[in-house]
Amino acid sequence: MNVNLAFFLAWRSLGRNPRRSIVSVAAISLGLSLCMLMIAFADGVYQRTINNAVAEQAGHLVLQHPNYTLQPGVDLVVNLSPEDMQAIKQLASVDNVHTLVLANTLVRSSYSARNGRIYGVNPNQGLNSIIAKKVNQGRYLDNSNPQQIVISDKLARHLKTKLKQHLVLVANDAHGNTVEALFSIVGIFPQSMDGVDGHIVHMPLVAAQAMLGLEPQQFTRVGILLRNPSDMSNVQAQLQWLNLPQRGLLTWQQVLPALADYIRTDRFSMLVFNGLFVLLVLATIFNTILMSVLERRHEFSTIMALGTPPSLLRLQVLIEGILLALLGCGLGTLLGLIMIWPLYHFGIDMSALFPDGISTSGVSIDTQVYGYISLSSAVNLITGVFIATCSMTLWPMYKATRIPLTQGNSA
């Protein structure tokens, strides 16, 4: 088969019918770039949410007592020596290791009492949390004094307290005793719209350990933050030596199943939505390619009457489709990247839409949304659109060679 001749005819046909070619390429590139943008927006939100969640509540990988998920208790801790901690940090894929002490508490003022949730964190690592960023009265925790806490404005209102005043926290310690300690309020943050973070009390890790009767190497959770979340299974394999009977090494999806389920469900919805969108674009492309064949009935009939093998004509139509798909996908990728770039670098501030913040599955979502598309998502999408576009030529290919040859001999 004369592939060069089919390519020559296809190229000529596209070049000499610029309007039709431009419409097809524009439909492919616009559809692809919008899909890329939608994926980047959604993946950006997912990634940011996951990052926030793993930074505040856990890590990409979490070391915690195997029974803690089912029966969270302050006595269910993991012991991790400084040497083990150092060994984890030395892995190339590990960005940081966060330690966390969690416990339920009763927060008491001279006026009232409310339930709260202690987050004992290292002040330096807590600085990057959403809570720290949201503090709008006072400041976040520092290393100056262990007896300091940061609470929500809602909790402060209920307790009729304010910045620099003191609160008593009552809790059960790891040995089953009821303990209490006095803390000074150094910062207040606005509670999010649905009150997910209304009960949170951030305090220094050392203060939480001291109050709850824990040793310095005892933590409720040790979160391992990775430079690249896709390395999770590799790092998990490398850290199997940590997976002892009293130390379960879990993924963030196992620690935060509600969030993992939400992202999985939302991703599926996005996939369906994108699929429908791509179908609409493909319908336009199919229509354009089929029309381009049908409007050339006379030309194709003549070409075949001159002795062109039907296979060569089919190849010509296929090559036209492939060239359109290549041009459309190339341009669409470029256009998509141009649209994603400002979203990736500057993000969109959604705080005007959500003045009280947003959260899902018990995790706060940053109102500054950044776009992100992974290489694999982009490659899958572009390949999918390319193959789908090429497949749109199959029926027109067939139709091209079914045109009666006598058509060319009529006006």
Partner 1 sequence: MSAIIQLNQVSKIYSIGKLQVPALKNIDLTINAGEFVAMAGPSGSGKTTLLNIIGALDDASSGTVEVDGKDLNGLNRRQKSHLRRMNIGYIFQHYNLIPVLTALENTEYVLMLQGQPKAQRRATAMALLADVGLAGKEHHLPAQLSGGQQQRVAIARAIAPKPQLILADEPTANVDSHTAESLLDLMERLNAEQGCTFLFSTHDTAVMKRSHRLIWLKDGVIDYDGVPSGFQLP
User: Does 307 help bind partner 1 (rule: CB under 8 A)?
Assistant: yes
Complex with partner 1: residue 385 or 397, whichever CB lies closer: 397
Expressed in percent and rounded to 5, the helix, strand and coil fractions of the chain are: 50, 20, 30
User: Does 234 help bind partner 1 (rule: CB under 8 A)?
Assistant: no
Complex with partner 1: residue 21 or 29, whichever CB lies closer: 21
Taking the complex as a whole, the smallest distance from the CB of residue 323 to partner 1 amounts, in Å, to: 14
Q: Among 5-13, 160-168, 239-247, 283-291, which window interacts with partner 1 (CB under 8 A)?
A: 5-13
User: Does 57 help bind partner 1 (rule: CB under 8 A)?
Assistant: no
Kind of pairing between the strands at 178-189 and 166-172: antiparallel
Other beta carbons less than 10 A from residue 74's beta carbon? 25
Structure tokens at 200: 């949170």
Dist CA 73 CA 76 (whole Å): 5
171 close to 106: Cβ distance less than 8 angstroms: yes
Kind of pairing between the strands at 78-79 and 200-204: unpaired
Dist CA 334 CA 340 (whole Å): 10
Taking the complex as a whole, the smallest distance from the CB of residue 394 to partner 1 amounts, in Å, to: 19
Q: Among 14-22, 110-118, 191-199, 206-214, which window interacts with partner 1 (CB under 8 A)?
A: 14-22
Taking the complex as a whole, the smallest distance from the CB of residue 317 to partner 1 amounts, in Å, to: 14
Taking the complex as a whole, the smallest distance from the CB of residue 316 to partner 1 amounts, in Å, to: 11
Binds partner 1 by CB under 8 A, chosen from 181, 235, 312, 335:
312
Site for partner 1 in 153-192 (CB under 8 A): none
- Alpha carbon 398 to its chain's center: 43
Render 270-293 in DSSP notation, one character per residue: HHHHHHHHHHHHHHHHHHHHHHHH
Binds partner 1 by CB under 8 A, chosen from 255, 282, 303, 400:
303
Complex with partner 1: residue 218 or 308, whichever CB lies closer: 308
Taking the complex as a whole, the smallest distance from the CB of residue 390 to partner 1 amounts, in Å, to: 22
Taking the complex as a whole, the smallest distance from the CB of residue 398 to partner 1 amounts, in Å, to: 13
Taking the complex as a whole, the smallest distance from the CB of residue 296 to partner 1 amounts, in Å, to: 9
Taking the complex as a whole, the smallest distance from the CB of residue 406 to partner 1 amounts, in Å, to: 5
Taking the complex as a whole, the smallest distance from the CB of residue 395 to partner 1 amounts, in Å, to: 19
Q: What is the largest CA-CA distance in the chain?
A: 101
Complex with partner 1: residue 307 or 355, whichever CB lies closer: 307
Complex with partner 1: residue 213 or 408, whichever CB lies closer: 408
Kind of pairing between the strands at 218-219 and 78-79: antiparallel
Site string (388-407) toward partner 1, x via CB under 8 A: ----------------xxx-
Burial class of residue 393, CB neighbours in 10 A (0-12, 13-18, 19+): buried
Dist CA 339 CA 37 (whole Å): 7
Binds partner 1 by CB under 8 A, chosen from 299, 322, 337, 339:
299
End-to-end CA distance of the chain: 31
Burial track 33-61 (b if 16+ CB lie within 10 A, e otherwise): bbbbbbbbbbbbbbbbbbebbbbbbbbbb
Binds partner 1 by CB under 8 A, chosen from 24, 161, 220, 308:
308
List interacting residues with partner 1 (CB under 8 A). 2, 5, 9, 12-13, 15-17, 298-299, 302-310, 312, 404-406, 408-409, 411
